[in-house]
Structure 1
Amino acid sequence: MLFIEALNRASTQPNEKKLISRAKYRPTINHKDSVDLSSAAHQVKEIHLNSQVKTPLTASTSVFANLIEHALSYILTSNLHVHSPEELNLDIKDWILSLQVPPVKSEQDQKTAGYLVPEVPQRPPAKQLIFHIPVKPSYGIPVDMTLLISPNNGSPEVPSLFHTFPKESWLPVLRTPYLPDFLDQQVTHYHILLDQDGEPDQLSPLYVHINQSRIMSEDTFSPQTFGLRIWRAKNNTLTPVVLGDSKIGLLFIGHYTPIEGNPITEEERARQASNLYTKA
């Protein structure tokens, strides 16, 4: 478990930057041979995480990370561990990770008069999963917290757990070293989105910055975590919190601030600086 020393009073959480803005209205012109694209395609945005743009890892974010770790261990029936960049000494290195933000809401299937698909038997619709987790302080009674897990709306294949698990589950106690007063001041309801569209080696840019003894073989980790991306859903905004990799395992990046747009590497910056522009 990852635990960070708590302060006497819970600090006020900074307002999270909204990543997904409303799409600009554009008039649509229909042509005979045109193809309508899902509105979800317009919601996808490129973001990157920069090692220099982060907030301190606090006890509050530690509780959140351990709730995710606790739930995943229960779902996958495996003793998982969520690392922090601080544990791997990544907080003192320079690195950049690029991600695509999945769509927030799924678009309901609509049938048009000009295009009808044959009826195919389908599985029951995927459901959101609610996990009730009693979080035990260093002494006293547990604080009940809830983790709501949703499937990724943009994924072509929804993980089977959203069909096989019951809608609500009560998990074993999560023990922490924190005082009761601290836990009483924490957020007790979190909503996360589970996205398995990442590559198994999505943390490969970090390999060179980690002690090679921490790079593991694929049989060390649960294959179900390879390419896993977990996003926190809050105020209609998604922010990345956990990434799964076949060599590193699960990495918590919830205290890194996502930056919109494509990152510019040092090589690209140097190349642009060396270009000569002349006017005709």
Structure 2
Amino acid sequence: MLFIEALSRASTQPNERKLISRGKYRPNINSKDSVDLSSAAHQVKEIHLNSQSKTPLTASTSVFANLIEHALSHILNSSLHVHSPEELNLDIKDWTLPLQVPPVGNQQNKRLDGYLEPEIPRRPPAKQLIFHIPVKPSYGIPIDMTLLISPNNGSPEVPSLFHTFPKESWLPVLRTPYPPDFLEQQITHHHILLDQDGEPDQLSPLYAHINQSRIMSEESALPSQTFGLRVWRTKNNNLTPVILGDNRIGLLFVGHYKPIEGNSISEEEKARQASNLYTKA
């Protein structure tokens, strides 16, 4: 990840706070000749990143990206590098990258009456991971920052690290070229969600726009856990993509690209679902 020079004094930013959304009560109406639509059907599932929807990569976003890079290198026990689109010259090309957004919420699969789950070995429950990272300015003492990593509740399979890693970890110092007065004004607590639900080549639409010498062979030495890796920033119950992992490009930071909602269903269909109409069985 490139370190971006801090050209101006950033305004003081309060630490991010996790917002707990209260689930709304929905009456459960059953009918023999109808199928209830899940509340997840009303969520936008498809977005795309577009080369024209970016904002400048700032020193603040660079610090955020390097915190994630530092934590992933520790988790995967590998020296990882998070590329920026600017580093790969993607900022001067026209491209579109489609993505599927996972559902938001803590709803767990409920057991149906009369259904018995098969006996399978139980894994330890998944847990949130807290990483304490001392961030070293260009001079002076390190500033403590925290990265909270959660498993994505919509993932069909939770990555094993959420079962095997300790709940709290203290990482080595992350060195930066920024002065202490700049780092002191940055957000010190970040919350991200992580899943591996993407395709191993989820960045393939970008291959044609990158110098082929920067694209790795399929037998690259990248950890397989980065293939299909997706890191999401969570804020106000919304998920936005931050880092995407690919078996040819590696890790790509997209946190300064504004996601554009993809309208994969017609307005008529969307209105029908919003009216809670039944789909005949």
**1:125 alignment partner in structure 2:** 125
C-alpha distance in structure 2 between counterparts of 1:44 and 1:27, whole Å = 22
Instruction: List aligned pairs for 1:147-186, cutoff 5 A.
Output: 147-186=147-186
| 1:121-270 correspondence to structure 2 within 5 Å | 121-218=121-218, 219-262=220-263
Cα separation, 2, equivalents of 1:12 and 1:45? 34
Shift of 1:2: 2.2
Tell me, what secondary structure is at the counterpart of 2:2? Answer: coil
Report if aligned partners of 2:192, 2:233 keep a CA contact under 8 Å in 1: yes
Query: What secondary structure, in the 3-state scheme, does the structure 2 residue paired with 1:220 have?
Result: coil
Amino acid across the alignment from 2:144: D
In the superposition, relative to structure 1, how do residues 42 and 151 fare at CA in structure 2: closer, same or farther (>3 Å)? farther
Is the Cα contact below 8 Å between 1:44 and 1:102 reproduced in 2? no
Q: Using the alignment, how far apart are the partners of 2:146 and 2:23 within structure 1?
A: 32
Kept in 2, the 8 Å contact 1:44–1:101? The answer is yes
Q: Is 1:4 paired with 2:7? A: no
8 Å CA contact 1:193, 1:230 repeated in 2: yes
TM-score (norm 2): 0.83
1:273 matched to which residue of 2?
none
CA shift in 2, pair 1:33/1:122, >3 Å: farther
Distance 1:77 1:41 in 2: 39
When structure 1 is superposed on structure 2, of 27-36 and 244-253 the one drifting more is 27-36
Shift in Å, 1:79: 0.3
Query: Any unmatched runs of 5+ in structure 2?
Result: 14-21, 265-281
Separation in 2, partners of 1:175, 1:30: 58
Distance in structure 1 (CA, Å) of the matches to 2:78 and 2:91: 27
- In 1, are the aligned partners of 2:12 and 2:186 still within 8 Å (CA)? no
2:11 and 2:92 mapped to 1: Cα distance?
24
Deviation of the 1:25 alpha carbon: 9.8
Alignment of 1:10-25 (within 5 A): 10=10
Deviation at 1:261, TM superposition (A): 1.4
- Pairwise CA RMSD of aligned residues? 2.6
Measured in 2, the distance between the counterparts of 1:137 and 1:127 equals 31
Q: Distance in 2 between matches of 1:241 and 1:157?
A: 20
Quick check: 218-227 or 72-81, which moved more?
A: 218-227
Cα distance in 1 between the residues matched to 2:77 and 2:238: 30
Partner of 1:87: 87
Q: CA deviation at 1:236?
A: 1.4
**Cα distance in 2 between the residues matched to 1:56 and 1:50:** 14
In structure 2, the partner of 1:74 is 74
For 2:177, give the aligned amino acid: P
Query: In the alignment, is the contact (CA less than 8 A) between 1:155 and 1:197 conserved in 2?
Result: yes
Q: Which moves more between the two structures, 131-140 or 27-36?
A: 27-36
Give structure 1 stretches of 5+ with no counterpart: 14-21, 264-280
Check 1:106–1:36 CA distance in 2 against 1; reply closer, same or farther (3 A cut): farther
Deviation at 1:111, TM superposition (A): 3.6
Paired AA for residue 178 in structure 2: Y
Percent identical: 84
Query: May I ask how many residue pairs the two structures share in their alignment?
Result: 256
Partners of 1:114 and 1:38 in 2: CA distance: 21
**1:260 partner letter:** E
Q: What is the CA distance between 1:234 and its match in structure 2?
A: 1.4
Q: Indicate if the aligned counterparts of 1:43 and 1:102 stay in contact, CA closer than 8 A.
A: no
Give the letter for the 2:260 counterpart: I
Shift of 1:24: 11
Hey, what's the Cα distance between the residues in 2 that align with 1:24 and 1:100?
25
| Residue in structure 2 matched with residue 63 of structure 1 by the alignment | 63
* Structure 2 contact 201–248 (Cα < 8 Å) conserved: yes
Correspondence for 2:54? 54
Change (3 A) 1:107 1:137: same
Report if the CA contact (8 A) 2:44-2:261 is conserved.
Answer: no
